[in-house]
Structure 1
Amino acid sequence: MTDDTGDTDTAAGDASDSAAGDASDSAAGDASDSAAGDASDSAAGDAAEDFSLDRFHEALEAEERPVATASEVARRLGTSQAAARDALAALVDRGDVDRLDVESDPVVFFPTDWGRLATRERVVAFPDRREIVVDRPTQFTRARLSQFAHLVDTTGTDPGTRGYLYRIRQEDVWAAPFEDADGLIASLRSVLPRRFEHLEEWIRDQWRRAHRFRLYTHEDGYVVLQAASESLMGNVADQHLDDDHLRAPISETEAWVNEDAVAAVKRALYDAGYPVEDDRDLDVGDPVDIDLTTDLRGYQETWVETFLDARSGVYVGPPGSGKTVAAIATIAAVGGETLILVPSRELAGQWREELLEHSTIDPADIGLYHGGRKEIRPVTIATYQIAGMDRHRALFDSRKWGLICFDEAHHISSPVYSRTAELQTKHRLGLSATPVRETGSEEEIYTLIGRPIGADWDELFEAGFVQEPEVEIRYVPWRDEMARNEYASADGRERRRLAAENPAKIEEVRYLLAAHRDKKALVFIEYLDQGEAIADALGVPFISGETPHRERAELFRRFRDDGGESDSDRDDVDALVVSRVGDEGIDLPNAELAIVASGLGGSRRQGSQRAGRTMRPAGSALVYVLATRGSSEEEFAQRQMRHLARKGIRVRETNVAE
């Protein structure tokens, strides 16, 4: 903070500043009164009368701090320090402003309402930094902010008292799910205490940026890049695109694009701050005979309509929101042969079942293309691993695909990215609960596939389409002295492993399973030794990448099964310990309880996937995250759960007793 004595505001500072720096508040007031009297009592009174609470708020916003000294207020409002101090004193007398002695400044001032709101939501905007701080945010506020702002950090440890720091980045504005800038601005105004013209103008400018370049198909069949102005083509496109990206200029605002470089053009301009609208004529592919047999929910219909209008995009929604059904509806609406890319063989088989359940497709028209089978059919389901291999190029070349569907779309920046030339001519649909990568390369998803399309998680919770999970971080102590000492003497990666495998977690898992014995449970682990130890201690199956495919499929089937009519007939499994094989894509609708025993060093996406295993249309949903107290796991747990909090999910924290 800036000290009152550091200001040099004309004659008022000669006596007032010295007194403020050397004496207590009362002495500062005496000196201030004396200085004010020297300058003129009536002038000071007039200044105080003109100084409103709104003017004080303006000073705080300019200072970008929630509190300010009299000298800082004077500097920001262009008045003398004496006049500012008298005006603040008048506001204090009226009860509009409070004053506080702090160690580094004689006196700081803040609006009284902020103190009164200590037990309620508080929203403070810093428009110059494009940041919004929210204490005790409501679910409504978190949901609105998640549409156009990035959650940077959270503070506080007690349940219900966290503060959230959001930042509005240009890519957040570009990807915001609104028809126009007015819709985005309306959402912004719904959460901020008042309007901020400068911030709103910046948002409108970013929105305009997202509509300054477009790709379209010329009547002669080639691809054209069109800029909104001659200067954009000359100063932006020409400077950021390589020579082989464009074949030749057509006019001052248009250029002939090398069709193999479409993805590179889009990525280069995105990096330059100008996302490209893609209005090209895309391949439709040979017809495929398929109709949807399941009624769509309202938001799913909106997803499909939005996709058909844009012809590319990523359906974003929590597990259980029906992204796969919406994708099948999209396949039927596009009506062309389709390639579906998935991360695992289990998910390939699951997709086949979903297609047969929700559409009229002939089973003979569905092909599986992975390590065990190599079938290419009108609708082919392949793994990303196979699709990224050069020797399987026939997968891309053998049919005229009209639609490419990327399930778990964050995998797109794997070797499949090398197929950009083949992919860019098709309709492109991505599915993901959280299209985020820790490397910050989410732009690769949006430039290669398309913009996000999706309902707010909160809207699905409120409408009852998806059960909102209860998430709790449980900080587990060291109970084994030998394990504690081994951790203390280790460093680096070994420390992380030891914290993850804290033996006390086994008993905590046992306690949680016993407390919820009526619920189907998944226990997630990172290290195989720990998985085996928990499985042995609890007498439940352990599934990892080493588990044979047939055995894995059978265990998943038994987990989904409700069993027979009597206990003696039951062959179902109520709990599974799973490694990363359970993170993505495995449909386990009976999972009512998830316990994350380790793996907290993973990505935000992994945290969402694991928590998401319990998000289903009905029934209770519980997620417990175990973190060794006093270790880096505390930070990792908070980071992963912060991403869920951004989606509107409430997260609480508990310290487990020694």
Structure 2
Amino acid sequence: AAAGGMNAQQIVDMLIQYSKYAIPSNIVTDIREYINRYGRIKLVRDGDELLLKSEDAALITEVIHHKRTQPYLLGQIDRNTLLVDSARRGHIKQALIHIGFPAEDLAGYTDGSALPLKLRPETLLGKSFEPRGYQYAAAAAFYAGGAPSGGSGVVVLPCGAGKTIVGLATMADVQKATLILTPNTVAVRQWIQEIIDKTDIPPEMVGEYTGERKDIAPITVSTYQILTYRRSGGEHGDENGQEYFPHFSLFTSYDWGLIIYDEVHLLPAPVFRVTAEIQARRRLGLTATLVREDGREADVFSLIGPKKYDVPWRELEQQGWIATAECHEIRVGLSEDEQMTYAMAELREKYRIAAETPAKLNVTRHLVERHQGDQILIIGQYLEQLKALADELEAPLLTGRTPTGQREKLYDQFRRGDIKRLVVSKVANFAIDLPDANVAIQVSGTFGSRQEEAQRLGRILRPKSDGGLAYFYSVVTRDTRDQEFSANRQLFLTEQGYRYIIEDAEELLAI
């Protein structure tokens, strides 16, 4: 909130306005103290030197003596200024946020290679194109007119709201060589298609760097997976036999002026480490939710940047930019035999027993019949369950084992309407553009992941040409770990204003 320009009084006033009861004085005090910590310490550049400055000399003394920050300090210039190792800009920011004093980074950026780029007024197919108002606003909030206060941060928009267009608008603002990182190869090709379709950049200036191709161009699109490919020990290790990541050289192989992290909430730990070492590059994170189940939100804040722009999901729904969604939780029961197996199982086994109950198949079949003519995604976690559903529904199955070419073929058939239903694993959670999908049936997931729930709803939130609703069904096993995890999964969407209609499977099937 502080990084976004809010002060303590604004936050307290908002809480008072919307709270049913009086705000306890200790909460108000904590808010004032915490909000005032941001910006008390700043990173600035003086020539070639990186400096840590604060008007609070006692805070500077605390930083000097804290074991987390000591490895990155080169000395003290005066009572308010410390000299920082320029190569450890990201590391000192991580250390400072861990000790409770997030730094405001005003040290600026390396320009990067120039790349003149304009957005097209018409796509290659002749359709008029103009970013929406909130997409322009998001790009402007990130870039900040080129000021040191801009150039690093995260834009949070709902799935289906056009985060890729925000990326293109930012590229048009920055006008520099750009590296784009995405979750998978299908997403890489979608980005490349959008860049060529909606900007004046010729195709030969856009490179794909994946497991299949290794092209580096002024705009290069790659995956987190290829970057985190590693070799260990032996002839492929370093001199100490430690693992290393051969494709990390992509970060330094070109004079990038901007790095875009698509679905930044998925950023793997190794990419965090290398990002800590490239803080002089502008960094834009794009995501639908900053929720991370591993608790590393602070690393996103310190290494990518603070949240620069955020729009509530329901607000864009009301404006017609994403589809209106109706969410249902349908509860099934275990058979007597399954109940005994569940009762005797170890805790870690209970969820899978509940998640894979055959009772979910009957409900899924019923929902598919109810939505004949709609574009339906059946989404799950466990391959045996998905295979059974695909066989029962006579639908194609798409998993992590499906070759990229086959995935793209199935997605294209689904987009054209040649396929009306598609059974998918978690590979379809992220960065897949299926604009006509309007029904999602979730049969299992990654335990209590709020992030995954939001992403799966997002698969069906593209606005529909007929203005129709999107339907999200979560099929859950009653009185089990499955139901417990489901309650946790729904928390983020509940905060966004969505409500789940609870239905009993027996009553549903009796209709």
Q: Residues 172-208 of structure 1, C-alpha deviation per residue, up to 9 Å, x if partnerless?
A: x556x44444443343232124764834443232221
Asked whether the equivalents of residues 174 and 275 of structure 1 are also in contact (C-alpha less than 8 Å), the reply is: no
Which AA in structure 1 matches 2:247? Answer: H
Distance, in Å, in 2 between the alignment partners of 1:525 and 1:424 is 38
Of stretches 480-489 and 635-644 in structure 1, the one that deviates more from structure 2 is 480-489
Asked whether the equivalents of residues 269 and 276 of structure 1 are also in contact (C-alpha less than 8 Å), the reply is: yes
Which AA in structure 2 matches 1:340? Answer: I
Aligned residue for 2:396?
A: 541
Secondary structure of the structure 2 residue equivalent to 1:190: helix
Superposed, 1:367-406 pairs within 5 Å as 367-389=207-229, 390-406=245-261
How big is the shift at 1:550? 1.3
Aligned residue for 1:265?
A: 92
Asked whether the equivalents of residues 15 and 23 of structure 2 are also in contact (C-alpha less than 8 Å), the reply is: no
Change (3 A) 1:291 1:183: farther
Distance, in Å, in 2 between the alignment partners of 1:361 and 1:238 is 51
Of stretches 451-460 and 195-204 in structure 1, the one that deviates more from structure 2 is 195-204
1:414 paired with 2:249, answer no
Secondary structure of the structure 1 residue equivalent to 2:438: strand
1:616 paired with 2:451, answer no
Q: Which has the larger radius of gyration?
A: 1
- Pick the aligned partner of 2:281 from 415, 419, 426: 426
How big is the shift at 1:404? 0.8
Which AA in structure 2 matches 1:532? Answer: K
How big is the shift at 1:227? 1.4
Normalised by the length of structure 1, the TM-score is 0.69
Q: Residues 312-351 of structure 1, C-alpha deviation per residue, up to 9 Å, x if partnerless?
A: 1111111111111011100111111111111111110111
Asked whether the equivalents of residues 470 and 623 of structure 1 are also in contact (C-alpha less than 8 Å), the reply is: yes
Change (3 A) 1:280 1:650: same
Asked whether the equivalents of residues 342 and 383 of structure 1 are also in contact (C-alpha less than 8 Å), the reply is: yes
Distance, in Å, in 2 between the alignment partners of 1:523 and 1:187 is 40
1:303 paired with 2:138, answer yes
Q: Which has the higher helix share?
A: 1
Distance, in Å, in 2 between the alignment partners of 1:425 and 1:224 is 14
1:363 paired with 2:363, answer no
Aligned residue for 1:590?
A: 436
Distance, in Å, in 1 between the alignment partners of 2:55 and 2:421 is 58
Distance, in Å, in 2 between the alignment partners of 1:439 and 1:398 is 31
Change (3 A) 1:241 1:436: same
Q: Residues 404-426 of structure 1, C-alpha deviation per residue, up to 9 Å, x if partnerless?
A: 11111022243112213442111
Superposed, 1:146-545 pairs within 5 Å as 173-174=1-2, 177-193=4-20, 196=23, 198=25, 199-218=27-46, 220-293=47-120, 294-309=129-144, 310-389=150-229, 390-452=245-307, 453-478=309-334, 480-545=335-400
Secondary structure of the structure 2 residue equivalent to 1:209: coil
Asked whether the equivalents of residues 240 and 269 of structure 1 are also in contact (C-alpha less than 8 Å), the reply is: no
Asked whether the equivalents of residues 608 and 643 of structure 1 are also in contact (C-alpha less than 8 Å), the reply is: yes
Change (3 A) 1:594 1:493: same
Secondary structure of the structure 1 residue equivalent to 2:298: helix
Distance, in Å, in 1 between the alignment partners of 2:5 and 2:499 is 25
Change (3 A) 1:458 1:516: same
Change (3 A) 1:590 1:641: same
Normalised by the length of structure 2, the TM-score is 0.89
Distance, in Å, in 2 between the alignment partners of 1:521 and 1:633 is 23
Which AA in structure 2 matches 1:345? Answer: T
Which AA in structure 2 matches 1:271? Answer: H
Secondary structure of the structure 2 residue equivalent to 1:423: coil
How big is the shift at 1:484? 4.0
Q: Which has the higher contact order (CA 8 A, sep 6+)?
A: 2
Change (3 A) 1:190 1:604: same
Asked whether the equivalents of residues 439 and 470 of structure 2 are also in contact (C-alpha less than 8 Å), the reply is: yes
Secondary structure of the structure 1 residue equivalent to 2:490: helix
Asked whether the equivalents of residues 290 and 359 of structure 1 are also in contact (C-alpha less than 8 Å), the reply is: yes
Secondary structure of the structure 1 residue equivalent to 2:369: helix
Asked whether the equivalents of residues 88 and 277 of structure 2 are also in contact (C-alpha less than 8 Å), the reply is: no
Q: Residues 546-573 of structure 1, C-alpha deviation per residue, up to 9 Å, x if partnerless?
A: 11221111000011114xxxxxxxxx11
Distance, in Å, in 2 between the alignment partners of 1:624 and 1:437 is 23
Distance, in Å, in 2 between the alignment partners of 1:288 and 1:375 is 17
Distance, in Å, in 2 between the alignment partners of 1:378 and 1:367 is 8
Secondary structure of the structure 2 residue equivalent to 1:506: helix
Which AA in structure 1 matches 2:138? Answer: W
Asked whether the equivalents of residues 288 and 378 of structure 1 are also in contact (C-alpha less than 8 Å), the reply is: yes
Change (3 A) 1:537 1:322: same
Distance, in Å, in 1 between the alignment partners of 2:107 and 2:402 is 46
Which AA in structure 2 matches 1:341? Answer: L
Distance, in Å, in 1 between the alignment partners of 2:407 and 2:506 is 36
How big is the shift at 1:456? 1.9
How big is the shift at 1:397? 1.9
Change (3 A) 1:200 1:487: closer
Aligned residue for 2:505?
A: 656
Secondary structure of the structure 1 residue equivalent to 2:295: coil
Distance, in Å, in 2 between the alignment partners of 1:433 and 1:549 is 24
Distance, in Å, in 2 between the alignment partners of 1:184 and 1:467 is 30
Gaps of 5+ in 1: 1-172, 563-571
Change (3 A) 1:388 1:222: farther
Q: Residues 199-232 of structure 1, C-alpha deviation per residue, up to 9 Å, x if partnerless?
A: 44432322211120111111x2221111131111
Count of matched residue positions in the alignment of Structure 1 and Structure 2: 474
Distance, in Å, in 2 between the alignment partners of 1:462 and 1:288 is 37
Change (3 A) 1:655 1:194: closer
Distance, in Å, in 2 between the alignment partners of 1:316 and 1:276 is 21
Distance, in Å, in 2 between the alignment partners of 1:239 and 1:493 is 40
Distance, in Å, in 1 between the alignment partners of 2:135 and 2:349 is 46
Distance, in Å, in 2 between the alignment partners of 1:426 and 1:408 is 19
How big is the shift at 1:301? 2.0
Asked whether the equivalents of residues 91 and 276 of structure 2 are also in contact (C-alpha less than 8 Å), the reply is: no
Asked whether the equivalents of residues 307 and 313 of structure 1 are also in contact (C-alpha less than 8 Å), the reply is: yes
Which AA in structure 2 matches 1:497? Answer: R
Distance, in Å, in 2 between the alignment partners of 1:404 and 1:363 is 19
What is the root-mean-square deviation of aligned Cα atoms in Å?
A: 1.9
Asked whether the equivalents of residues 355 and 361 of structure 1 are also in contact (C-alpha less than 8 Å), the reply is: yes
How big is the shift at 1:462? 2.2
How big is the shift at 1:248? 1.7
Secondary structure of the structure 2 residue equivalent to 1:224: strand
Which AA in structure 1 matches 2:62? Answer: N
How big is the shift at 1:612? 1.3
Change (3 A) 1:233 1:362: same
Secondary structure of the structure 2 residue equivalent to 1:616: coil
Change (3 A) 1:609 1:342: same
